[in-house]
């Protein structure tokens, strides 16, 4: 799909993964957590294209360069049914505020409709006001009632 300023939104490929990981690291830097990224291109290739594929992604491409990413996966709600979870929506800093995020999100919604997804969910940091305004601008509800829980890789190894 082509749109303004020669941006192409398309399904990501293996060859995109080095640039995609670069965007993920750029996002982590913005979110003040660069030390948290220990993923590799090799791991992403296995997880995104291997026999037990666990994610899909869209890229926004401009002049042969990946300038945006929407990485998502399928989940399930016992209350709703099939769901989609948006792990990352990121646009490189130089391309923000030109509609790239909106183009990616529009394509993501198209996929969700085609797959009869009952809910699309994501997280946003409470201090990330530009992202909050973006999501509100597309009509999303932000839910302050749920507390996120997680166990790290190291914690998973040590719990008996």
Q: Which residues are annotated as catalytic?
A: 135
Phi, psi of 68 (to 5 degrees): -155, 160
State both tokens at 126.
């409470």
Residues paired with 2 in a beta bridge: 8
Query: What does the alpha-carbon distance between residue 66 and residue 136 come to, in Å, rounded to a whole number?
Result: 25
Query: What does the alpha-carbon distance between residue 156 and residue 160 come to, in Å, rounded to a whole number?
Result: 9
Describe the crossing of helices 41-49 and 17-30 by its angle, rounded to 10 degrees: 110
The answer to whether 59 and 12 are in contact (CB under 8 A) is yes
State both tokens at 155.
């914690």
């Amino acid at each position: 799909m082509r749109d303004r300023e020669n941006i192409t939104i398309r399904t990501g490929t293996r060859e995109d993964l080095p640039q995609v990981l670069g965007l993920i690291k750029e996002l982590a830097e913005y979110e003040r957590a660069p030390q948290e990224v220990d993923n590799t291109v090799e791991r992403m290739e296995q997880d995104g294209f291997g026999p037990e594929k666990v994610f899909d992604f869209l890229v926004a491409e401009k002049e042969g360069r990946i300038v945006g990413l929407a990485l998502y996966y399928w989940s399930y709600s016992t209350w709703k049914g099939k769901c989609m979870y948006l792990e990352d929506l990121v646009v490189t800093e130089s391309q923000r505020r030109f509609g790239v995020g909106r183009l990616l999100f529009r394509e993501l919604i198209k996929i969700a409709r085609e797959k009869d997804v009952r809910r699309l969910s994501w997280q946003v940091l409470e201090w990330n006001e530009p992202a909050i305004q973006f999501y509100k601008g597309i009509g999303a509800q932000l839910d302050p009632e749920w507390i996120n829980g997680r166990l790290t890789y190291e914690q998973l190894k040590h719990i008996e």
